Amino acid sequence: GNTVSKILVTGGAGFIGSNFVHYLMSNTDHEVTVLDALTYAGNKASVEGLPANRFSFVHGDIRDAELVDELFSKNDTVVHYAAESHNDNSLDNPRPFLETNIVGTYTLLEAARKYDTRLHHISTDEVYGDLELDDPERFSESTPYNPSSPYSSTKAGSDLLVRAWVRSFGVRATISNCSNNYGPYQHVEKFIPRQITNVIRGVRPKLYGAGENVRDWIHADDHSSAVMTIVDKGVLGETYLIGADGEKNNKDVVELILTTMGLPADAYDHVTDRPGHDLRYAIDSTKLRTELGWMPTHADFESGIAATIDWYKNNEAWWAPTKDATEAFYASKGQ
Ligand code: NAD
Ligand code: TDX
């Protein structure tokens, strides 16, 4: 396996990155450094109170080649989460997605090449486009790339850069493409936290279109254990798909949130659909399970959602500062 002791986590103040940092602190002895630009999506509070002998936070941009060079010189392993991550924003203003997802990833790859750093690149199932509701095939490592949105096309571009730097320059990298995550510390712009925090505020949840679209939900902790499995045991140059057999349509998810929060299942509104809205994502994670022995442990979606609802109820100070601006953005688009 790969020897890890000092690990740099880009985007570690975001949703999945911060969950990964907490996972590392609880399950490993590694020294952890976060590099995060604290964009609208980053929140330093998500990684506050961690032991200073093992954790440090660097406020900076992954496009800053000088800073990236210095941090790569001090770390043996980099896990790259930093990205512009929200499809709806990418439809409104694609430029930051090109900057961070493409140029940012390029900047890290050049540093990995210089220092021969072990790099794990975090990506998404959205690079594969979408599936019909009745398609018996799910996405696998051999599915052709076919991204739909500015977000997913820039993530696809970043994956292809990683593959090219592996092949052309021998960079020691792996890639994972994961399905939709849920759990604590997720920005209220995203589907599940938006609806939970709407209900907490007495606002009706907002379903895009008819709500038939299917997402393959995985708890952020299961994503973290999968990533650590790949960092420890993954074969260099390989891609691994991460998923936990969690397909649900959006209507069922909204109804589950409402009933879990003690409201009638139909107490939501249908709003303007997302342009180009991908119909269905579904992951076949056989390769990761059989070759590296990974298994998800948060199998019960209902109890995972109940715990997530409790987290948002108990952490209003974490999300309240971003709620009004997020809803104003959606209201401007009839969503
Ligand atoms: P997020 O938007 O919650 O967090 C992104 C973090 O990156 C923020 O802390 C932000 O401040 C930081 N960041 C943005 N631009 C930066 C820059 N130029 N330099 C340094 N830091 C910068 O995103 P997330 O949902 O946690 O997603 C993390 C990663 O996982 C992304 O690469 C995303 O494509 C991927 N992913 C997400 C999901 C999901 O369901 N959310 C699923 C699969 C893959
Ligand atoms: O208010 C809403 N109502 C609604 O019906 C919002 C915000 C979303 N939706 C729908 C759109 C999607 O079908 O819910 C589904 C999930 O939406 P998002 O939370 O925006 O996620 P998605 O577009 O599926 O992308 C997510 O998963 C893959 C992450 O944001 C990406 O970063 C990741 O790559």
Average pLDDT, the chain: 98
CA-atom Rg of the chain in angstroms: 19
The ligand that comes nearest to the alpha carbon of residue 20 is 1
pTM over 0.90: yes
Are residue 200 and residue 175 in the same domain, yes or no?
A: no
pLDDT in tens, 249-280: 999 999 999 999 999 999 999 999 999 999 99
Q: Which two tokens stand for residue 191?
A: 């589907």
Are residue 126 and residue 164 in the same domain, yes or no?
A: yes
pLDDT surpassing 60 at residue 1 = no
The angle formed by the CA atoms of residues 313, 314 and 316, to the nearest 5 degrees, is: 70
Q: Quote the ipTM score.
A: 0.99
Report whether residue 206 contacts ligand 2, using a CB cutoff of 6 Å.
yes
- Residue 314: inside a domain: yes
Q: How far, in Å, CA of 217 to CA of 191, rounded?
A: 12
**Of the candidates 136, 156, 154, 155, which has an alpha carbon nearest to the alpha carbon of residue 144?**
156
Residues forming a β-bridge with 271:
208
Are residue 127 and residue 19 in the same domain, yes or no?
A: yes
DSSP 188: T
Residues 14/38, Cβ–Cβ less than 8 Å:
no
Are residue 115 and residue 208 in the same domain, yes or no?
A: no
Catalytic residue among 61, 81, 84, 151: 151
Q: What pLDDT is recorded for position 2? A: 63
Residue 92 known to be catalytic: no
What is the band of 26 on the pLDDT scale with cuts at 50, 70, 90? very high
User: What residue's CA is closest to ligand 1, atom 44?
Assistant: 124
Return all residues near 262 (Cβ < 8 A) that are at least 6 apart.
none
Are residue 108 and residue 29 in the same domain, yes or no?
A: yes
Q: How far, in Å, CA of 146 to CA of 295, rounded?
A: 28
- Residue 292: inside a domain: no
- Residue 58: inside a domain: yes
Domain ranges, residue 321: 191-214+246-279+299-325
pLDDT surpassing 70 at residue 123 = yes
pLDDT in tens, 180-191: 999 999 999 999
- Residue 22: inside a domain: yes
Q: What pLDDT is recorded for position 4? A: 73
Are residue 201 and residue 83 in the same domain, yes or no?
A: no
Are residue 172 and residue 275 in the same domain, yes or no?
A: no
Q: Side chain identity at 214, as an amino acid letter?
A: V
Domain CATH for 195: 3.90.25.10
Are residue 98 and residue 201 in the same domain, yes or no?
A: no
Number of domains in the chain: 2
Are residue 35 and residue 82 in the same domain, yes or no?
A: yes
Residues in the chain: 335
- Residue 288: inside a domain: no
Residues 261/201, Cβ–Cβ less than 8 Å:
no
pLDDT in tens, 63-84: 999 999 999 999 999 999 999 9
Instruction: Give CA separation, 161 vs 139, 202, 215, 237, in Å.
Output: 21, 45, 26, 12
The ligand that comes nearest to the alpha carbon of residue 102 is 1
- What residue spans of 93-188 are helical by DSSP H? 95-97, 105-115, 150-169
What is the band of 168 on the pLDDT scale with cuts at 50, 70, 90? very high
Return all residues near 88 (Cβ < 8 A) that are at least 6 apart.
189, 274, 329, 330, 333, 335
Catalytic residue among 125, 130, 216, 221: 125
What is the band of 229 on the pLDDT scale with cuts at 50, 70, 90? very high
Residues 78/108, Cβ–Cβ less than 8 Å:
yes
**Letter string b/e over residues 210-225, b meaning 16 or more CB atoms within 10 A of that residue's CB:** ebebbbbbbbbbbbbb
Report whether residue 250 contacts ligand 2, using a CB cutoff of 6 Å.
yes
Residues 187/15, Cβ–Cβ less than 8 Å:
yes
**Of the candidates 71, 25, 27, 28, which has an alpha carbon nearest to the alpha carbon of residue 52?**
25
Are residue 173 and residue 255 in the same domain, yes or no?
A: no
Return all residues near 223 (Cβ < 8 A) that are at least 6 apart.
16, 19, 20, 178, 181, 242
Are residue 39 and residue 79 in the same domain, yes or no?
A: yes
pLDDT surpassing 80 at residue 3 = no
- Residue 1: inside a domain: no
Averaged pLDDT for residues 91-111:
98
Are residue 40 and residue 138 in the same domain, yes or no?
A: yes
Catalytic residue among 61, 88, 126, 130: 126
Widest distance between CA atoms in the chain = 57
Q: Which two tokens stand for residue 94?
A: 């694609």
What are the strands, taking DSSP E only, across the chain? 6-10, 31-36, 55-59, 77-80, 118-124, 173-178, 181-182, 206-208, 214-216, 218-219, 239-242, 247-249, 269-271
- Residue 222: inside a domain: yes
The number of the ligand 1 atom at minimal distance from the alpha carbon of 36 is: 21
- Residue 98: inside a domain: yes
How far apart are the two ends of the chain, measured CA to CA in Å?
A: 47
